[in-house]
Amino acid sequence: MFQDITVTFIFIIGCFSLIISIGQLFVRTRRIENYNLAVIFFCISILLFQAFFIFNGVIFIYPNILFFYLTLSALLGPLLYYAYFFLCLPDVKLPKKTLLLLLPALFMMAGDFSYLFSPYENKIIMLKYLYKSGPAPDELIMKNLFILPYIGNSISQVLILLKLISIRNSVKVRNIVDISIVHTVVGFLITIMFFFAYLIRSIQFLKIATVVLCLSTAGAFLINQRYPEYLQLVIIDTVRKRYVRSRLTGIDAESVGKYLVDLMEHEKMFADEDLSLKRLAYELSITPHQLSQFLNEKLNSNFNTFVNRYRVDEAKKMLVEEPDRPIMSVCSGVGFNSKSVFYKAFVQSTGMTPHRYRKEIKSEKEE
């Protein structure tokens, strides 16, 4: 009965991981961090589903279920490293040399395809060797292939750990870094457990390692309930400073202002019809209240007036540079979702309608 409960628990956490993975793709303002986390939890979910079939014996009927087990196992270490990099160093370009961490996964992919296209009998021999202490297969590489992903993962986790320790004393949100360090150590121990499980070919030890992985995955979710930034991609302030969520006096107003201008002038966020105070504040890593107060006190403006100013300026450029473009196309192109709001903002800014403005500019050029 205990074994049935354990196997069921593994399946449930596999489903839970899949839901978390899909959830990352539904974040309104998705970043590369979200996609990275989505892939991490997807890999975990598939590995747990495969473990479920291993422990209930289905794998010996349908051995192809184990396809991509090696590749997904080898991917976890590098993906966790990239998760740290994207979260903590969002403005630093990922060093090309870190892509070397993916090489073991590519090698494992070759092993997965070799397994997939091997005869059915050979697959069963391999599975019985791994999970039922059966006789060893003839191929030497196949005997040791399942321990290799965990060697690469342990290297990636050591690199993560060293980096976290090195920046621990230089950041403001040290509690999140401490949690990350603890979680990395736990992940390293889990990796070592899987390594020894396959090294000594112990199905019971493998089951224990899998259950610990489930607990660690559930723990990451529970930590996120206490510290929402843990999985919401706001960990530490580095090159592009992440701003402390406190009163306006507690943020770097100059940096906020510069980044705000960059979002408007270079990334043209104003052109998004769905842009809101909340979303813009999220991009700046401050609260909506702080952004509203910043606009009022530093720019003597409210959110709508601030955004509409950029939209009108862009509309003026379009009216001049694209003389044949319909007025309504210009309206939607700069982010207005209402013709009346567009005309009102344009008239307040220029003293004339968009059509009149285009006509006036055209007349001036002809003169």
What CATH number did the domain enclosing 51 receive?
Answer: 1.20.1070
d(CA 306, CA 103): 48
Residue 241 clears pLDDT 90, i.e. is over it: no
Average pLDDT over residues 156-173: 73
Is residue 235, in this structure, part of any structural domain at all? Answer: no
> Computed from CA positions of residues 322, 326, 332, 336, in that sequence, does the dihedral angle turn out positive or negative?
positive
Together in a domain, 68 and 200: yes
pTM of the model: 0.60
Q: State both tokens at 97.
A: 């040399």
User: Are 161 and 169 within 8 A, CB to CB?
Assistant: no
Query: What per-residue confidence (pLDDT) applies to 249?
Result: 55
Same domain? For 66 and 204 the reply is yes
How many structural domains compose the chain?
2
pLDDT band at 334 (very low <50, low <70, confident <90, very high): very high
User: Do 29 and 83 share a domain, yes or no?
Assistant: yes
Domain boundary (198, 230, 262) is at: 230
Q: Is 31's pLDDT higher than 80?
A: no
One domain, residues 109 and 178 = yes
Mean pLDDT of 276-303: 86
pLDDT of residue 60: 92
What integer is the mean pLDDT of 189-204? 91
User: Does residue 172 sit in the same domain as residue 304?
Assistant: no
The position carrying tokens 């007349």 is 363
Percent pLDDT > 70 in the chain is: 82
Query: Residues 215, 79: one domain?
Result: yes
Q: Does the pLDDT of residue 63 top 90, yes or no?
A: yes
Higher pLDDT, 297 or 341: 341
320 or 243, which is more confident: 320
The whole-angstrom separation of Cα 13 and Cα 15 is 5
Burial class of residue 163, CB neighbours in 10 A (0-12, 13-18, 19+): middle
200 belongs to a structural domain: yes
Q: Residue 272: give the domain boundaries.
A: 248-366
Per-residue pLDDT, 231: 52
pLDDT computed for residue 223 by the predictor: 67
Same domain flag for 206 and 337: no
Percent of the chain having pLDDT more than 90?
31
Q: For residue 333, is it within any domain? A: yes
Residue 255 and residue 303 in one domain? yes
Contact 354, 346 (CB under 8 A): yes
Q: State whether 179 and 308 are in the same domain.
A: no
Alpha-carbon gap, residue 367 to 363, rounded angstroms: 6
On the question of pLDDT at 206 being above 60, the answer is: yes
pLDDT band at 48 (very low <50, low <70, confident <90, very high): very high
Query: 312 CB contacts (<8 Å, ≥6 apart)?
Result: 334, 345, 346, 349, 350
Examine the domain organization and report whether 352 and 254 are in the same domain: yes
- Two tokens, residue 109: 């992919």
Q: Give yes or no: residues 165 and 256 share one domain.
A: no
Q: Please report whether residue 238 resides in a domain.
A: no
Q: 241 in a domain, yes or no? A: no
| Residues 85, 179 within the same domain | yes
Average pLDDT, the chain: 82
Per-residue confidence at 176, pLDDT binned at 50, 70, 90?
low
> 203, 230, 257 — which closes off a domain?
230
The least confident of 7-11, 117-121, 130-134, 218-222 is 218-222
In a domain, 242, yes or no: no
Taking 50 as the threshold, does the pLDDT of residue 239 lie above it? no
Q: Is residue 293 part of a domain?
A: yes
Q: Does 243 reside within a domain? A: no
Question: Looking at 178, 197, 230, which one is the last position of a domain?
Answer: 230
The three-state secondary structure class of 224 is helix
Q: What is the DSSP code (8-state) at residue 279?
A: H
How far is Cα 233 from Cα 33, in angstroms, rounded to an integer? 7
Residue 262 to residue 277: CA distance in whole angstroms? 16
Q: What is the domain-level CATH number for residue 339? A: 1.10.10.60
The three-state secondary structure class of 318 is helix
